[in-house]
Amino acid sequence: MQKLIIFGTGQIAQVAHYYFSEDSDYEVTAFTVDAEFMNGDTAFGLPVLPFEDIASRSPPDDHDLFVAMGYGGVNRQRQDKAAAARAKGYRLAHYVSSRAWVWQGFEPRQNLFLLEHNTIQPFVEIGENTTLWSGNHIGHHSRIGDNVFIASHVVVSGAVTVGDNCFLGVNATVADNLTVGAHCVIGAGAVLTDNADERGVYPGTSSDRAKIPSNRLRNF
């Protein structure tokens, strides 16, 4: 089994450890973070190594690395750490769940994290360092850029282009043939029926609280 180091010790790193351990050919051997953020020498039963020394402790000749980070800075933090890992000589691992539906010609890129119940239709391209949490639909002939984070149950319809460094929140919907500009934030439940401008923020609609409390509902 190929050895794998995971960057991070938070919840996403713990989730990545589980998926890689249970559903891949990788053996996770250690976690790594920047030395200033180390809170101990172990996490989830494995050693935590300072990122500054990782190449000498777990050399890239026999280890791959996966950057398990969220969407901070519109994914820039994850992008920067992936670049730093490459500069140290590491090949970045990717994970595609065995419980996702992925078309036969799909080519996963480095540091892709694609979880269960995603549907990736034919002729879709997904860039590197992109995360698709569980249960999304990516329609045919769509292109998802680099350093994107797509939360759960998002619908990207056919022939859509999503630019680099975008975030799409839970239950967002993008209609056919649209372009979402780079660095956009599409909020939870938002519905896009027109192109989204670069660096645009498109908030979802939040439900207002009713004026009566739940114990006064007559028909519930």
pLDDT of 219 above 80: no
Look at the chain and report how many structural domains it folds into: 2
- Chain centroid to CA 199: how far? 19
- What is the arithmetic mean of pLDDT over 107-115? 98
Q: Where is the domain boundary, 27, 62, 87?
A: 87
The last residue of a domain, from among 40, 55, 87 = 87
- The CATH number for 77's domain is 3.40.50.20
Residue 213 lies in a domain: no
Q: Are residues 69 and 107 in the same domain?
A: no
Q: Is the pLDDT of residue 10 over 90?
A: yes
Q: What is the overall mean pLDDT for the chain?
A: 96
Look at residue 215 and tell me whether its pLDDT is greater than 90.
no
One domain for residues 65 and 108: no
Beta bridge partners of 28: 4
* pLDDT tens column, 162-202: 999 999 999 999 999 999 999 999 999 999 999 999 999 99
In this structure, what CATH number is given to the domain that contains residue 111?
2.160.10.10
Task: Provide DSSP, 145-162.
Answer: -SS-EE-TT-EE-TT-EE
pLDDT at residue 220, as a whole number: 66
Domain, as residue range, for 184: 94-201
| Ramachandran assignment for 50, one of left (phi > 0), alpha (psi -120 to 50 degrees), beta (any other) | beta
Model pLDDT for residues 26-52, shown as the tens digit of each residue:
999 999 999 999 999 999 999 999 999
pTM of the model: 0.95
Using DSSP's 3-state secondary structure scheme, residue 144 falls into strand
